[in-house]
Structure 1
Amino acid sequence: MKIMPQLLNRNEVNMEDTWNLGDLVPTAYKIDAHMDQLIIDAQVFERNFSSRLTSAQDVISCLKVYEELYERFVIYTTYARLRLDEDRGNGKAQLQQAKIGTAAASVMSALSFVDSDLAALPAAILQEAQHMDSTYITLIDNILRNKPYQLHPEVEKALATLSPVLDSPYAIYNTTKSVDMNFPDFEVAGTTYPMSYGAFENEWELEPDTDKRRAAFTAFSAKIADYQHTTAKVYNTQLQKEKTLASMKGFDSVIDALLHVQHVERDLYNRQIDLIMTELAPHMRRYAQLLKKTYGLDKMTYADLKIALDADFDPLVTKAEAQKYILHAVEPMGADYVQMVQEAFDHRWIDYAPNKGKSTGAFCSSPYGCHPYILVSWHDKMNDVFTLAHELGHAGHFVNAHKKQTIFNSRPSMYFIEAPSTMNEMLLANHLAQSNDDPRFKRWVISNMVSKTYFHNFVTHLLEAAYQRKVYTMIDEGQSVNAPILNDLFRQVLEEFWGEDVDITTGAELTWMRQPHYYMGLYSYTYSAGLTISTQVSQRIINGDDTVIADWLEVLQTGGTKTPAELALMAGVDVSTDEPLRQTIAHIGNLITELEQLTAVLEQ
């Protein structure tokens, strides 16, 4: 297996492996001046419109200026955030992000009157404004929907001004994780191996050599354990902030407040977690036992769950090869979509380099008014190909939405956000499956679907969601949390799901420390929600339904102008029932059965 070398500094990596932030802000050294001007313009806007909205025409005139200011705000703040994400150890980027964050708070403080003043108007005036200009239908719908929870204008303004402080738990978490955690090398049989956050999550977790893999897990867990109390304190601060804000706005619970933003009812949220915890668990335990048998393990441990079923048939994949795989995979989406993916490859939308200080994991940032930006850390694995396809799914979603929708209409509910991304993973798996009839190749493709697409989205994130629900329940009961409590809650979830089939290795309980999504509300459960939708849609494609692609592209272009349930229904999936989720769980079970059968054939 290729072993990751010591990480390079950001200034040492190949420029072609980095994204081009010049497309966002061509003259980066002027960004401070841009933000200073935006503050001035926002304050002029506040003076011109605050407390002066009395008619539908006033509303439209105000929103047109607001829209232009907000588009600039998104571009500048995105630039500062992405520059920090590429290297959180960069002192200049840290200071610039802090300065832009302070300036952004001033801008949002000046703009905060918009929601307050609109919410204070009679509904009839807002509805008249919607008829005058359909551009703002969704924005005004949300104003009306949030009216019962709107705080006093001065309170809203104060909260906007305090946003850098209120957002600090996430910033502290990322700094601790990406900058302060320096991992020592670890040793196996007299040989030392390099360790880092990225090396563990992208290499050592997947290492087929059991001694190395388990030693790496022990070493990694020991280092993050050193930071568990600080990380728990930061996380508890985030939780108490969310609870306080929910109570101030009049919500009965923090869960209800976070779901309100997503246009999701509590029963839909609970069903997603409960059904997977009970009905998917038996299938995944079978998969764990298949791994144990294939590798001849003495016992199946938590440290063994991410290994490939057939490591010897898991070749290295270059970026050039990955691009060919993905371009062929998305061909069913049409020429425009393929061209978008090609542009991402050709024009440096993607940051591949696994350098020191880089944010872990992967994401796609899609600022309105510019193309998306994708962050990954490339290690020449098929796992990376699926991750890149996933993030390009986000990019394709927002390129389509931004073409048809304004900035206020383009972003759908978080509940739906992972459907387009996981759809691309399904297309990639389908393309690979059709490219070769060899039984071993077929097993390799299916195992990648199970271990990457479904394990990551339907198991890893779902277990995090089940844990997160336990945490929020405690917070709603007026309690606080610390590291021992969080460790115990996470271990409970792991033991409930894996039962006696997987030994929950010491250190597994610290997995809660690895997830930044906990600082983004109820995000983790939405991965399985999105994958439920994309599984159902992709099965229609595989079965030859010629209407699917046109319907799906229309869904992408609809942006946030419909609720997540309405978007799913446009794609032919009714999430108001449990049928799509049950069918998806059954599909995963069938894939694991097929893996068992193919393995039996290959072992003969």
Structure 2
Amino acid sequence: MVHILPARSAVPVEETWDLSSLLNGSTDFNEELTNLEKQALALNKKFKGTINDSKMVILVLTDYMLFTEKLVLVSTHANLTASTDQTNDKAQLQASKFGATAAKIGSQLSFITSELLSLSTETLEQAMEESTEFRVFLKNLLRQKPYQLHPEAEKSLAAFSSTFNAPYSLYNTTKMADINFGDFEVNGQKYPLSYGSFEGDWEVETNTKLRRAAFDAFSTKLKEYQQTTAKTYDMQLQTEKTTADLRGYASIFDYLLFDQEVDRSLYDRQIDLITSELAPHMQKYAKLLQRVHGLDQMTFADLKISLDPSYEPEITVAQSKQYIDDALAIMGPDYIKMVDRSYSERWIDFAQNKGKSTGAFCSSPYGDHPYILISWTGRMNEVFVLAHELGHAGHFYHAHQEQNIFNGRPSLYFIEAPSTMNEMLVANHLLKDSSDLKFRRWVISSIVARTYYHNFVTHLLEAAYQRKVYKRIDAGQSVNAGILNELKRGVLEDFWGDAVDINDGAELTWMRQPHYYMGLYPYTYSAGLTISTQVSKRILSEGQPAVDEWLEVLKAGGTQSPTELAQMAGVDITTEQPLRDTISYIGELIDELVYLTDEIEKADGVEISQS
């Protein structure tokens, strides 16, 4: 049953993360921020106007790297503190203050990039030869050269960075602080509703009347804020379009894909192939859900329900650790040591409380350990979620041990491969040596409903919708709530066909996703899962050699392009074959769910209806 969420202050401390190491033992955030401002000013005075040869390139980057390490820790403290309670005025003001100060610092230090890019290519290449530590940084810098503006323009843009980031902050404030969902009523009884309770509980509620009533109430309240949220999103889009034009990119897509180090063809292929070829498999899955639950019609509000809710075990945080340790043991003792530390040293925020950010994420600041946010409801499904976030943690835990701060982070295109890999390892572990039909069905349905639905359907349909939005923006147009609703509904209807009734409120799901403020992020989930699906198959068939290669990929961090990282793991993403193989694999899983359901119903004496 869903409960009213407590205030953050009422949550047991053992359910929260410990952020104390981020400020190096200091309890004064403002003092740390003031010190950073002074250090940035000192860097400006020391180096501005002096970067004229390879020796000075190396000297300035050495000092800049050390400064960046300190800045990241304070930034992470501000952002993570705010993420656990959007209603905490002190935390929100602290995050705003950091944003304003970071903009000043960025403006002070914008000369570094400008002066580096004013040097000849030969000088920069000489610096790359003399210091392998900065080779990747300078290589990426050279790629930016055609899009670099005049130094004074760069300084001005850096000074406005907190303003450019304002739409995302405004979105979060509207979503987590302003919207009060109140209660909804079914048969004279009232039930509490919030963002957290809807996405964590009501969306998967087995009682159809309650689930659909919660969806309707949730959608009705969202609709009251659709105009403000749409205007906020349009501000983000127009800022990105203006930046792309100012810097001389051919399109907003080229601008947003630049840092991902992939071309438009990989982006389009991921969306087009999945939208067309995965749809029939997922429509079959939707019809299976409808049949098993005896629904009069299959609506959008029913898509997240479990295939067999009676087989959904509840699980404690302590029990989750055992499952994850067992499943990820194949990754080796160092990896498991990291997992164990994440629990014992409170790297994870498990609490459910009012104002906490929805969903789950992992933040991995250089120079400290990773931090994971999740709202634990006790469902076995969350073992997959936690394993996913620990995949991000394990990635950067290994990369940061081997690489400097400039080399640690790979392209966004690859970022979801290590996380989804862990989900596959959990699933493979649970399926190993299991012959019980109901257990196998439960595990496979968890893979389909959690791992693949979430990453290959939810996020992919977000990407298909997002592409339509950006095409409008690239053509010089804007968006409003009506347009966004129409685009989202169209994408959902095209994918689900006549298998699912896209009921009123489904079109408003664009209001729920923060990824739209992070560039072309949503499609990368399916890209990462395509890679991890293929590598997990290798691990199953080849064992330790495939694991060792994967660990080397994690350690490589951002020193290779996503194509090169995938190649290191034995996957060629320059072709469409890995994606087609993954879609085929999802189809096989759904076919097995149909078969297992038929066998279970035969054994239970249930008459099978073919719908």
Tell me what 1:413 maps to.
411
Q: Does 1:479 align with 2:477?
A: yes
Farther off after superposition, 96-105 or 208-217: 96-105
Q: Does 1:17 align with 2:15?
A: yes
Q: 1:603 aligns with which of 598, 601, 604?
A: 601
Gap runs ≥5 in structure 1: none
Matches of 1:23 and 1:210 in 2, distance apart?
46
Tell me what 2:554 maps to.
556
Matches of 1:517 and 1:145 in 2, distance apart?
26
Deviation (angstroms), 1:546: 3.1
Deviation (angstroms), 1:437: 2.1
Matches of 2:9 and 2:472 in 1, distance apart?
45
Q: 1:343 aligns with which of 341, 344, 348?
A: 341
Tell me what 1:541 maps to.
539
Tell me what 1:384 maps to.
382
Aligned residues: 602
Tell me what 1:268 maps to.
266
Task: Provide Cα deviations, 1:97-128, integer angstroms capped at 9, x if missing partner.
Answer: 11121111111111111111111100111111
Tell me what 1:154 maps to.
152
Deviation (angstroms), 1:4: 2.1
Counting only pairs closer than 5 Å after superposition, residues 114-513 of structure 1 correspond to structure 2 as 114-434=112-432, 436-513=434-511
Deviation (angstroms), 1:33: 1.2
Matches of 2:26 and 2:305 in 1, distance apart?
42
Farther off after superposition, 153-162 or 390-399: 153-162
Given that 2:416 and 2:527 are in contact with CA atoms closer than 8 Å, whether structure 1 keeps it comes out as yes
Letter aligned with residue 275 of structure 2: M
Matches of 2:541 and 2:477 in 1, distance apart?
50
Matches of 2:469 and 2:96 in 1, distance apart?
30
Counting only pairs closer than 5 Å after superposition, residues 579-590 of structure 1 correspond to structure 2 as 579-590=577-588
Task: Provide Cα deviations, 1:438-480, integer angstroms capped at 9, x if missing partner.
Answer: 1100000000000000000000000000000000000000000
Given that 2:23 and 2:32 are in contact with CA atoms closer than 8 Å, whether structure 1 keeps it comes out as no
Matches of 1:371 and 1:140 in 2, distance apart?
27
Percent of residue pairs bearing the same amino acid type: 56
Deviation (angstroms), 1:544: 3.2
Q: 1:89 aligns with which of 87, 90, 100?
A: 87
Letter aligned with residue 312 of structure 1: S
Deviation (angstroms), 1:139: 0.4
Matches of 1:315 and 1:27 in 2, distance apart?
41
Letter aligned with residue 343 of structure 1: R
Letter aligned with residue 509 of structure 2: T
Given that 2:413 and 2:528 are in contact with CA atoms closer than 8 Å, whether structure 1 keeps it comes out as yes
Farther off after superposition, 61-70 or 47-56: 47-56
Task: Provide Cα deviations, 1:6-28, integer angstroms capped at 9, x if missing partner.
Answer: 10000100100000010212445
Matches of 1:344 and 1:524 in 2, distance apart?
27
Tell me what 1:75 maps to.
73
Task: Provide Cα deviations, 1:20-68, integer angstroms capped at 9, x if missing partner.
Answer: 0102124454221111111111111112111211110010001000001
Letter aligned with residue 509 of structure 1: E
* Secondary structure at 1:561 match in 2: coil
Given that 2:184 and 2:190 are in contact with CA atoms closer than 8 Å, whether structure 1 keeps it comes out as yes
Matches of 1:353 and 1:394 in 2, distance apart?
20
Please report the RMSD computed on the Cα atoms of aligned residues, expressed in angstroms: 0.8
Q: Does 1:591 align with 2:589?
A: yes
Letter aligned with residue 528 of structure 1: S
* Secondary structure at 2:413 match in 1: helix
* Secondary structure at 2:362 match in 1: strand
* Secondary structure at 1:193 match in 2: strand
Deviation (angstroms), 1:435: 5.6
Matches of 1:50 and 1:491 in 2, distance apart?
52
* Secondary structure at 1:230 match in 2: helix
Given that 2:391 and 2:419 are in contact with CA atoms closer than 8 Å, whether structure 1 keeps it comes out as yes
Matches of 2:24 and 2:368 in 1, distance apart?
12
Counting only pairs closer than 5 Å after superposition, residues 18-57 of structure 1 correspond to structure 2 as 18-27=16-25, 29-57=27-55
Task: Provide Cα deviations, 1:169-226, integer angstroms capped at 9, x if missing partner.
Answer: 0000001111111111111122211111010001000011111110110010011111
Letter aligned with residue 471 of structure 1: V
Tell me what 1:523 maps to.
521
Letter aligned with residue 228 of structure 2: T
Matches of 2:400 and 2:240 in 1, distance apart?
30
Matches of 1:231 and 1:293 in 2, distance apart?
37
Deviation (angstroms), 1:167: 0.2
Matches of 2:475 and 2:44 in 1, distance apart?
40
Farther off after superposition, 81-90 or 536-545: 536-545
Gap runs ≥5 in structure 2: 603-611
Matches of 2:98 and 2:347 in 1, distance apart?
23
Task: Provide Cα deviations, 1:389-435, integer angstroms capped at 9, x if missing partner.
Answer: 10000000000000000000000000000000000000111111116
Q: Does 1:61 align with 2:64?
A: no
Matches of 2:121 and 2:238 in 1, distance apart?
33
Given that 2:44 and 2:109 are in contact with CA atoms closer than 8 Å, whether structure 1 keeps it comes out as yes
Matches of 1:196 and 1:334 in 2, distance apart?
40
Structure 1 residue runs of 4 or more that deviate by more than 6 Å after TM superposition: none
Letter aligned with residue 10 of structure 2: E
TM-score between the two structures when normalised by the length of structure 1 = 0.99
Matches of 1:385 and 1:159 in 2, distance apart?
42
* Secondary structure at 1:66 match in 2: helix
* Secondary structure at 2:185 match in 1: strand
Matches of 1:162 and 1:138 in 2, distance apart?
27
Matches of 1:30 and 1:104 in 2, distance apart?
17
Letter aligned with residue 459 of structure 2: H
Letter aligned with residue 128 of structure 2: Q
